[in-house]
Amino acid sequence: MMKFLKIFLLAGLLSSCTHDFSETNTNENNPTNVTPDLLLSGVIRNMMNSQVNTAWGIGNIVVQHHAKIQFVNEDRYLWGEQNGVWDEVYNNYRNLQNIFTAVGADTTNPYLGVSLVLKSWMFALATDTYGDVPYTEAGRAKLEGKYQPKYDEQEAIYAGILADLRRANTLLMNSNTNLDGDILYGGGASAILKWRKLANSLRLRYLLRLSKRKDVSAEMNEIVANPVLFPLFSDNADNAELEYLSSAPNQWPLYGARVGSFDEFRVSKTLSDRLTALGDPRLKVFGRPSQRSVTAGTPKIEGIPNGLSDVNALAYNGGVQGVSRVGYTFACLVCNDQGQAAPDPAAAKGTLMTYAELMFTLAEARERNMITVGEAATYYNNGITANFNYWKSIVPSQYGIDVTMPANYLTQTGVAYTGTQEEKLAKIALQKWVSYYFTGLEAWFDWRRTGMPEIVPGPSNLNNGRVPVRFIYPQREQSLNGINRGDAVKRQGADDLNTRMWIAK
């Protein structure tokens, strides 16, 4: 009996030890599998924050929405490496791959369609920024051991992007509605339609960008002629934008910036001159009256020319007091002027695409006879009105900024949809440029396609009087993926800022 009891006790002890050992070696705070809803929210947040930061650091500078008064290399085109887009796209694509793996062959799962939309947007950013990039073999290191993915040709990447957006629309049309983690549109049944609208609206964005190289009229007409099968944005409520929160860590990304870093960036004279000439009240959203003009009792938004040297930038118009800061809506915590309400950490939004952009895209497509539906003037006027209404809804009331469109705005000479086709296209391009404010690099991509509105390099530019048309590849690619990078350079041309990629030739 005693022997049996000892064996029983020993067995129980071993069983207990084995159970405890298993639990001890399972870290419940470091899960090996993450559900699609958590992955989706992370990808959206990371990519939208990247969009804001890229707009701030380079996008708004190169298209001359902003200019710099200190550390002016970006404004003089001494860019070096700009790896933000590359890193964010490929880092976040890993999590999209995890969503695809979790979904498997379930074509009714809404995460499949939504992830295809995000994938398309992300790789469009990558290829529009660098040219040929890893695409078909990207994200296959974990599953297939492809640690050195080939660089696909841009034409093939665009074909894949457009095919995925078409497929996403079809999948979402037939998907279930169990969509959580959607911090862009709120998830659920209502969000499914909005993601479809985004897929189709993005298709039109990329088809127009592709139109310099291919006839895309048939595809564009197919979309606009069948709004039931291919729904599009119908108003600002469909905008693809991330709403920020009042509490950290989900505030406006610039809210925690140092005041010195924020104040390096000022309103560009290009922006202030163009909008002042039109009596455009949106300028009061994008900039503030210079501190010197406020002290003098004659508040005025005064921009600074792009591309000045450090010395000349700091001395321009009598010094920094004579140059307008960036608008309150986009400011950091300690970036308000004396007597002004503190910046709202949740006022500005991260923007992927807006209804206004879609309207300007359709206006250009109609003016160029690429589509046969609607009237170019109507699309154009709708785009302007939508952008005014958007900013009117964004700016906090305590700022006291009136963004109401003046009664004669649409009929004045510089805006009215009149003139030659070239003049009409220039007006579309100008208003689209304004609407792209803080939308990553999209205004730059559009300028690269059309040359409008004009970008004049500053007097102290360091790129031989040329506006850059791409980013160079990350230098680490030379050691990590040198052969494939080298093949891309041979196809595309020298790895520098001035080599036009396939889509922009």
Among 45-54, 138-147, 389-398, 422-431, which stretch is predicted with the lowest mean pLDDT?
138-147
DSSP 420-481: -HHHHHHHHHHHHHHHTTTSTTHHHHHHHHH--S--PPPTT-SSTT----SPPPPTTHHHHS
Q: Is 267 helix (H, G, I), strand (E, B) or coil?
A: strand
DSSP 158-177: HHHHHHHHHHHHHHHHT--S
Q: What is the largest CA-CA distance in the chain?
A: 108
17 pLDDT above the threshold of 60: no
pLDDT digits (tens, 9 = 90+) for 377-392: 999 999 999 999 999 9
- Rounded Cα distance between 154 and 284, Å, is 39
Q: Is 237 helix (H, G, I), strand (E, B) or coil?
A: helix
284, 401 in Cβ contact below 8 A?
yes
- Rounded Cα distance between 373 and 16, Å, is 74
- pTM for this prediction: 0.93
Among 46-60, 160-174, 324-338, 365-379, which stretch is predicted with the lowest mean pLDDT?
324-338
What architecture (CATH level 2) is domain 36-253+347-504? Alpha Horseshoe (1.25)
- 466, burial (CB in 10 Å: exposed 0-12, middle 13-18, buried 19+): exposed
The residue extents of the domains of the chain are 36-253+347-504, 259-330
Query: Which residues sit opposite 243 in a β-bridge?
Result: 349
294 pLDDT above the threshold of 60: yes
31 pLDDT above the threshold of 80: no
Predicted confidence band at 26 (pLDDT cuts at 50, 70, 90)?
Answer: low
pLDDT digits (tens, 9 = 90+) for 435-465: 999 999 999 999 999 999 999 999 999 999 9
**Which helix (H) or strand (E) segment is 265 a member of?**
strand 265-267
Predicted confidence band at 27 (pLDDT cuts at 50, 70, 90)?
Answer: low
Q: Which amino acid is at 181?
A: G
Q: Which amino acid is at 59?
A: G
Nearest of 64, 179, 73, 57 to residue 117 by alpha carbon: 179
Q: Is 327 helix (H, G, I), strand (E, B) or coil?
A: coil
- Angle between helix axes 188-210 and 110-130 (nearest 10 degrees) is 30
